[in-house]
Chains A and B, each alone.
Chain A
Amino acid sequence: MNDKLTFNVLLLSMILLSCTAKIVSRNYYQVNAAQLETIEKDYKQLYKEKPFSLAFTSKAFTTVQVEIITDTLTYIYDFDVDGRPILDTLQKYGLRQNKIYSLITKMKKIRCTWINSFDYYVNDKEQHLIFISIKPVLVRYPLSPPRYYIIAYFDRPQSFDKMGRLLDGKRVDRLRKLNGQVFKKITDRVCYTIAEKYR
């Protein structure tokens, strides 16, 4: 009886561990690569027209925080995803409401919690990278911190060490941390990390 119970507990643990390991790994990118690429391209295009960022601030993906960046002010608004006010506000600030709403829908579908564009500088020239955070479906141990899968899309190829860790462009021996995290290679311009915070 005890052996059977031990076997079942071990089996369950292995299933849980394998689920966790499978979802929070570079496999997530491979499985969702096409959707992620579409989201990145759409966002990049829309951001060029008018800068903004999106974050799902509720666990159930029902509330979205929109940051609209203008020359004089950054506006921060929280909206119900399915409500009318979000469309009215996007229109008010001259953003493409239908395209952004479509982007929000695509993000929700694959549980993207945040998308934003960051500036950085190479030889004093401004460059941009796009962050996409995902809240994977996984079983968490009680009181364990949440885990988010964060993907960084660079415009140009980056340097990595032998372990696939992102390096500082200028000093090749120095790891480049983004938001305090070490990122690992997926492709030469895409890398990922797993963090407790999505932004």
Chain B
Amino acid sequence: MDDLIKKFFLFLCILSLGSYAFGMTAKEDSLHTSTQKEAILFIDSIKHMPPSGAWPHVSSRLFLENLKLNIHYPLSFYPGRGTNFCAYGALSYLVIKDDPLGYAKFMITIYKEGSAVYNKIKFTPSSSVMSAAGTLRFKGVLDIRHAEQIWFLTLADHFKGYLNLLNLNYDLGDEDTFWASTNLSKFNRMVRKMCNYNTTSAGSDLLHPWISNPFQYLEKRLGKGILVLYINNRIIHKKNHDKIKFSIPTHFVVLENIARAGDKVTLTYWDYGGKTLLQITPSVLKKIIYGISFAQK
């Protein structure tokens, strides 16, 4: 057993170091972008949705209401309290900014037919995921956001990384487990496949990026593209009083703003359907960041 754990840890290290510091770049040669106005015209033209046989527990009314909310208020995506959907939340932020009409059409098709194509990727959710959508409870407002339940469960069912290897198939409650987890390279891969951005990345799942001044690094790129941070949220959002903590990244957030005054760095980031403002010291900033993904047109 010990041997197995050692091998698994070595495997993690190799995977993690594989992308470390060198960054990963991908360039899409065809830009497929739509505007929010086009998406609003499309979604507002739909007045009623019949129930879908593919998603037995999804309410057609809640589905359509939720889809309209996503299109009209793109920052409303809420990955749910206690789930491991935060990476899919950050991905949604990028998708809805890049191609809201494509998102709306994809959701309508997958709702009606049970499978659909987005950016040349065919999504065919498993029957357990189709049965679970609409039944997630105690996840905050995600409980009544049936389009987002379909979206997040479908993404997590489709994209797999090494963190998902031990739990590849969905069982009830797996939205809170490793089944829904995302590591940095999986996140970058999802962005490259789902969105028409040029993406670069620094950092890894186990080691901090080789950046001497993270504040300057982030400030320099802010406004020129979308910055997603892979952070250890347990430092800023403590959950127990133990001083010794296993330091690993746990959360994806989209950086909206960063400013420095004296020894305080003020971060404004998006996650869980809203923006959060947080003040930390430069050393804590360095300590919490494990990965930075930068998506540019």
B144 near A199 (CB under 8 angstroms)?
Answer: no
The yes or no answer to B14 lying at the interface (CB within 8 A) is no
Chain B residues with Cβ under 8 A from A165's Cβ?
none
Partner of B138, one of A72, A176, A196, A197: A176
Residues A45-63 near B (CB distance < 8 A): 55, 57-59
User: In the docked arrangement, what's the CA distance between A119 and B140, Å?
Assistant: 5
Q: Does B6 contact A (CB under 8 A)?
A: no
B141 with A119: CB separation less than 8 A: yes
> Whole-angstrom distance from the CB of A156 to the nearest CB of chain B?
15
B145 to chain A, nearest CB (A): 10
Give the residues in chain A near B241, CB-CB below 8 Å: 57-59, 113, 135, 146, 198
Which one of A55, A73, A178, A179 lies within 8 Å of B277 (CB-CB)?
A73
A94 within 8 Å of B (CB atoms): no
Q: How many residues of B contact A (CB 8 A)?
A: 26
CA distance A154 to B276 in the complex (A): 27
Residue B274, interface by CB 8 Å? yes
Decide if B263 is an interface residue (CB 8 Å cutoff): no
The 8 closest A-B pairs by CB, nearest first: A197-B239, A121-B143, A59-B241, A74-B276, A76-B278, A57-B238, A146-B240, A75-B277
Given A73-B268, A168-B137: A55 and B240 within 8 A (CB)? no
Q: Is B15 an interface residue (CB 8 A)?
A: no
Question: How does the 8 Å CB contact mask read for B237-252 relative to A, with 1 for contact and 0 for none?
Answer: 0111111000000000
Against B, the Cβ 8 Å flags (1 = close, 0 = not) of A107-125 are 0000001000011110010
Residue of A nearest to B271 (CB): A74
CB-CB under 8 A for A55 and B238, given A73-B275, A118-B81:
yes
Q: Report the bound CA distance from A168 to B275 in whole Å.
A: 31
Contacts of A77 in B (CB 8 A): 279
